[in-house]
A and B are shown apart, each in its own frame.
Chain A
Amino acid sequence: MDWGTLHTFIGGVNKHSTSIGKVWITVIFIFRVMILVVAAQEVWGDEQEDFVCNTLQPGCKNVCYDHFFPVSHIRLWALQLIFVSTPALLVAMHVAYYRHEAARKFRRGEKRNEFKDLEDIKKQKVRIEGSLWWTYTSSIFFRIIFEASFMYVFYFLYNGYHLPWVLKCGIDPCPNLVDCFISRPTEKTVFTIFMISASVICMLLNVAELCYLLLKLCFRRSKRTQTQRNHPNHALKESKQNEMNELISDSGQNAITGFPS
């Protein structure tokens, strides 16, 4: 089980995403997951081993490391990537539910003119309309919330995005204020800034996608009201014809059963 499995899960959602959504998935997997796996994990690999404090007191190093790094950067990034990718599953579940209902109606003989066979239902791309629009928009909203929350947690935990080369620590059992040295602080700062920039880009893509979906909805609704306004006579004629047809069919029925009309 690794990032490849997550890619399989999320890749399935790709078919039903907008173009901005597809760009977002690409940015996530290339600039964040891949960088995390091939580079960041190597940089942070020996972080506790090479964290050195200027003291021989046993336990001081452990306690100071735990105080300055309550959660490691790479673990926080891994959790961020998992949480940010998960809302896409809402869309996948909705599409799966829609296909299940379509297959059920097809077996009952209802949607025979829409689909050729059951395989056609599985292959057809589902449009982002109606209830799926709401699910998709909610998933983007949650993505933005998770990204922003993790970036804030990062900033709060590490007092910014820069790693210093020395930290002062005076927590028990350290006998006094000792100097503790982090391994590869500059390289870690570079990767931190890279990952934060990628997060910001992903957040901007999500905001752009949200605006695009809202604009599309407003445009569709205004087009519908405009069509209704342009052809009101046509709509009125249709409704009057329907009323007359109903009256004719009712009087016809009454004539057949023998009741006076």
Chain B
Amino acid sequence: MSWMFLRDLLTGVNKYSTGIGRIWLAVVFIFRLLVYMVAAEHVWKDEQKEFECNVKQPGCENVCFDHFFPISQVRLWALQLIMVSMPSLLVVLHVAYCEGREKRHRKRQYVSPGMMDGDLWYTYLISLIVKTGFEIGFLVLFYKLYDGFSVPYLMKCDLKPCPNTVDCFISKPTEKTIFILLLVIISCLCIVLNFIELSFLVLKCLIKCCVQKYSKSFQSSACEPQPQIC
């Protein structure tokens, strides 16, 4: 089990996405998953080994590291990626369920993979809303956990068993800050794409409803019997 599993799952979602949904998938694959795998993971590789406090007291470094990094930024990044990709699976599950029903009733539901109507439209909309919720939620969590998006080079720690307020130095703070800022920018871009897709879907549905209503009222007035002129 690795990131390839997630990639294969999400590739299946591509068929049932809108154009903007496909752009979102490309952004997630290239600017988040690929960057995480080839670069970000290595930056945080030795984070605890290279975390150094100006004290010889055993246990002080461990306690301070645990206090400043309850969960490592890179692990939070990975969790965010998984949670944000999961709602797209709702769409895949829905389509699989419909295809199963098609086989049982021997009736074709969808003319082409790209068409979205009826229940699938609602599922897609819900997955978009949940995705956006997760994105915003994780960004807020990041901000709250680490007091912002930058990593300082020095932190003061006075937790037991440290004998007094000691200086603790974090490894590669500038590089970590750069990658966290990149993560935040790409997350914001994904949120914007989700909002645009949401608006596009809702507008398209409203226009379709208005056109249907208008054509129905036009047809009903055309079918009314003409008054006879005696």
Contacts and interface: CB of A to CB of B under 8 A. Distances in A.
18 contacts: A1-B34, A5-B29, A6-B30, A48-B50, A58-B55, A59-B169, A62-B52, A66-B172, A69-B175, A72-B43, A72-B172, A75-B175, A78-B35, A82-B34, A96-B22, A97-B19, A100-B114, A173-B169
B153 interface: yes
A20 interface: no
Contacts of A59: 52-54, 154, 167-169
Interface string B1-38: 00110110000000000010011001001110111111
Given A65-B172, A70-B175, A75-B175, 4 more contacts: A1-B37, A5-B34, A71-B174, A86-B30
6 shortest A-B CB distances, which residue pairs? A59-B169, A70-B174, A62-B169, A1-B3, A58-B54, A78-B39
A128 B56 CA distance: 67
Given A59-B154, A75-B42, A66 B173 contact: yes
A114 interface: no
A71 B19 contact: no
A6 B33 CA distance: 11
B162 to A, nearest CB: 13
A5 B30 CA distance: 9
Contact of A1 (B4, B153, B179): B4
B10 to A, nearest CB: 10
A71 B169 contact: no
A62 B170 CA distance: 7
A165 interface: no
Interface string B66-87: 0000000000000000000000
Interface of A: 1-3, 5-6, 9, 48-49, 57-59, 61-63, 65-66, 69-72, 74-75, 78-79, 82, 86, 89, 93, 96-97, 100, 107, 173
Nearest to A67: B174
Interface centre among B19, B30, B35, B173 (most CB of A within 10 A): B30
A49 B37 contact: no
A97 B175 CA distance: 38
Contact of B29 (A1, A58, A61): A1
